């Protein structure tokens, strides 16, 4: 054979081998990555070739699927009462990645979850019928929170303390997830929602930690009682008024100058929300002890999944003396979500035990057979504080509602305990403060814990308070839960 032809043949053979090797690599190694690529149109076509599974509230689907009129995507997601449940469902969009429960359970809802496959599905390599997500949400509590927040910017969470079931997750202003489901119209809605300065896509109940203000005093009080700094909520504390922040010449004032805050007991200090008492208490305990108690309640937990991952609520470290004192009143760099502050009240209400909160009860296959029951999972239950400390804090919180700063949360015939908070916002408190309220209620063998934050309302600055803005929302939620 001619030498040139032989070399050419070898070269061509090497090219063919290289092509076969590359094809094999793409098929068996890169195939999954290519199939899962977000820009792979076939994934969207397959996802929306059939109706999706549903998200269930109290036995009723709050989601659905509608046939499209054109294009290669046969179905699109629809929502019943979309703005009411947006903080729970999130959205499943033909154009954007799914969020909230739609994102967490994407594979279950589109039928690709391996647990859904029957033997026939495996043999035929067909996509299984989609499953459903059964939530713990109580529609009455959800609507009560949504209606009570109204046009205010804020968030609210309600929890059953004994089970950890989340009864409501509300964020306002809200949005209609249906506006984002159709690829042909989602872009316009997306731009409008993201341009809105009120950020309706932000889940303020779970994913926007803010300074909790005086609601954090419950955590400091729990630390003081558990540590033995004070033997009960009714003994006098060592708390001068005014209290000069350590290492500074700055006096910490109280909202009510005439309140009996000098050496006040924990009960009286919660009733009148005495800053001097809890700032000095935090300093006397030291940041390590306060942080340890905060972390028992869930602060600094970077994996707080319900199952949507909540943003971390923070108790800071490496502070100077004055900053440590300020954390005692929920300021400096302390932040919390409504979920976190509802967990604080839930643990106190349930005798010092904290049950891991969750807003999904079950996931099922298309026939209703349970794939996983989250209500039976008590592995996350832990004792946070002693039953004695919990009972004392319950009693002190009841005093706050009966005759203190939280009277707007009173419900006739119902035992209610709560704590107000007004957190500074902006440099030198130049912007409208955040109004907080966290509470629990018990009646007829039922109990509920809630937390509400109002970031902004049309109320005058002088009228912004936890009792004035947030407590009425909590009251509406508690009444709905107990009814």
> What whole-number distance in Å separates Cα of residue 325 and Cα of residue 332?
9
CA angle 453, 309, 317 (to 5 degrees): 70
Query: Could you read off the pLDDT of 363-384 as tens digits, one per residue?
Result: 999 999 999 999 887 667 899 9
Greatest CA separation for the chain: 110
Neighbours of 204 (CB within 10 A): 28
Whether 231 is covered by a domain: the verdict is yes
Mean local confidence (pLDDT), 63-72: 89
Mean local confidence (pLDDT), 251-266: 94
Mean local confidence (pLDDT), 12-38: 64
Q: Looking at the 3D structure of the chain, how many domains does it have?
A: 1
Whether 9 is covered by a domain: the verdict is no
Query: Could you read off the pLDDT of 101-111 as tens digits, one per residue?
Result: 999 999 999 99
Element (H, E) at 416: strand 415-425
Please tell me the predicted confidence (pLDDT) of residue 440.
Answer: 98
Q: Which domain holds residue 258?
A: 213-365+378-482
Query: Above pLDDT 90, what percent of the chain?
Result: 78
Which conformational region is residue 396 in: left (phi greater than 0), alpha (psi within -120 to 50 degrees), or beta?
A: alpha
Whether 427 is covered by a domain: the verdict is yes
pLDDT band at 21 (very low <50, low <70, confident <90, very high): confident
Whether 326 is covered by a domain: the verdict is yes
Query: Could you read off the pLDDT of 319-378 as tens digits, one per residue?
Result: 999 999 999 999 999 999 999 999 999 999 999 999 999 999 999 999 999 999 998 876
pLDDT band at 468 (very low <50, low <70, confident <90, very high): very high
Please tell me the predicted confidence (pLDDT) of residue 255.
Answer: 87
pLDDT band at 7 (very low <50, low <70, confident <90, very high): confident
> What whole-number distance in Å separates Cα of residue 396 and Cα of residue 237?
15
Report which of residues 412 and 48 the model is more confident about: 412
pLDDT band at 11 (very low <50, low <70, confident <90, very high): confident
Whether 175 is covered by a domain: the verdict is no
Element (H, E) at 433: strand 431-443
> What whole-number distance in Å separates Cα of residue 470 and Cα of residue 25?
60
Query: Above pLDDT 70, what percent of the chain?
Result: 91
Q: Among residues 171, 174, 214, 273, which one is catalytic?
A: 214
Is residue 19 over pLDDT 80?
no
Whether 164 is covered by a domain: the verdict is no
Lowest-confidence region among 55-59, 122-126, 183-187 = 122-126
pLDDT band at 34 (very low <50, low <70, confident <90, very high): very low
Is residue 74 over pLDDT 90?
no
CATH, residue 238: 3.40.710.10
Whether 95 is covered by a domain: the verdict is no
Please tell me the predicted confidence (pLDDT) of residue 5.
Answer: 75
Whether 403 is covered by a domain: the verdict is yes
pLDDT band at 30 (very low <50, low <70, confident <90, very high): low
Mean local confidence (pLDDT), 244-249: 96
Please tell me the predicted confidence (pLDDT) of residue 23.
Answer: 67
Please tell me the predicted confidence (pLDDT) of residue 15.
Answer: 77
366 is catalytic: no
């Amino acid at each position: 054979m001619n030498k040139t032809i032989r070399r050419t043949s070898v070269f061509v053979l090497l090219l063919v081998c290289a092509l076969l090797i590359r094809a094999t690599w793409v098929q068996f190694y890169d195939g999954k990555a290519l199939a899962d690529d977000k820009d792979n149109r076939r994934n969207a076509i397959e996802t929306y070739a059939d109706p999706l599974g549903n998200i269930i509230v109290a036995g009723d689907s709050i989601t659905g699927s509608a046939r499209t009129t054109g294009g290669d995507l046969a179905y699109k997601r629809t929502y019943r009462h979309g703005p009411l449940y947006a903080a729970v469902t999130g959205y499943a969009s033909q154009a954007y990645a799914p969020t909230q429960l739609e994102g967490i359970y994407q594979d279950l809802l589109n039928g690709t979850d391996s647990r859904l496959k029957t033997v026939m599905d495996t043999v035929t390599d067909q996509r299984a019928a989609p499953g459903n997500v059964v939530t713990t949400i109580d529609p009455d509590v959800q609507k009560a929170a949504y209606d009570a927040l109204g046009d205010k910017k804020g968030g609210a969470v309600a929890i059953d303390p004994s089970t950890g079931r989340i009864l409501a997750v509300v964020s306002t202003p809200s949005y209609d997830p249906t506006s984002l489901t159709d690829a042909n119209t989602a872009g316009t809605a997306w731009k409008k929602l993201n341009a809105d300065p009120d950020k309706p896509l932000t889940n303020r109940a779970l994913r926007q930690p803010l300074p909790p203000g005086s609601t954090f005093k419950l955590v400091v009080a729990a630390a003081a009682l558990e540590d033995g700094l004070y033997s009960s909520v009714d003994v006098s504390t060592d708390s001068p008024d005014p209290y000069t922040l350590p290492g500074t010449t700055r006096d910490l004032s109280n909202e009510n100058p005439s309140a009996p805050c000098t050496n006040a007991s924990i009960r009286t200090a919660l009733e009148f929300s005495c800053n001097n008492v809890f700032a000095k208490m935090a300093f006397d305990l030291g940041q390590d002890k306060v942080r340890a108690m905060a972390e028992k309640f869930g602060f600094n937990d970077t994996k707080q999944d319900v199952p949507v991952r909540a943003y971390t609520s923070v108790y800071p470290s490496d502070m100077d003396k004055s900053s440590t004192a300020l954390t005692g009143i929920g300021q400096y760099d302390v932040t919390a979500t409504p979920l976190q502050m509802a967990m604080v009240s839930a643990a106190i209400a349930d005798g010092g035990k904290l049950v891991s909160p969750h807003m999904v009860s079950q996931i099922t296959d298309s026939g209703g057979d349970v794939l996983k029951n989250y209500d039976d999972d008590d592995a996350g239950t832990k004792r946070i504080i002693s039953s004695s400390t919990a009972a004392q804090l319950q009693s002190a919180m009841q005093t706050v509602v009966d005759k203190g700063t939280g009277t707007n949360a009173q419900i006739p015939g119902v035992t209610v305990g709560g704590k107000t908070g007004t957190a500074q916002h902006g440099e030198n408190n130049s912007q409208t403060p955040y109004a907080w309220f966290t509470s629990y209620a018990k009646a007829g063998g039922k109990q509920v814990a809630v937390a509400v934050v109002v970031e902004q309302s049309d109320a005058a600055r002088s009228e912004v308070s936890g009792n004035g803005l947030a407590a009425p929302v909590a009251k509406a939620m508690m009444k709905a839960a107990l009814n």
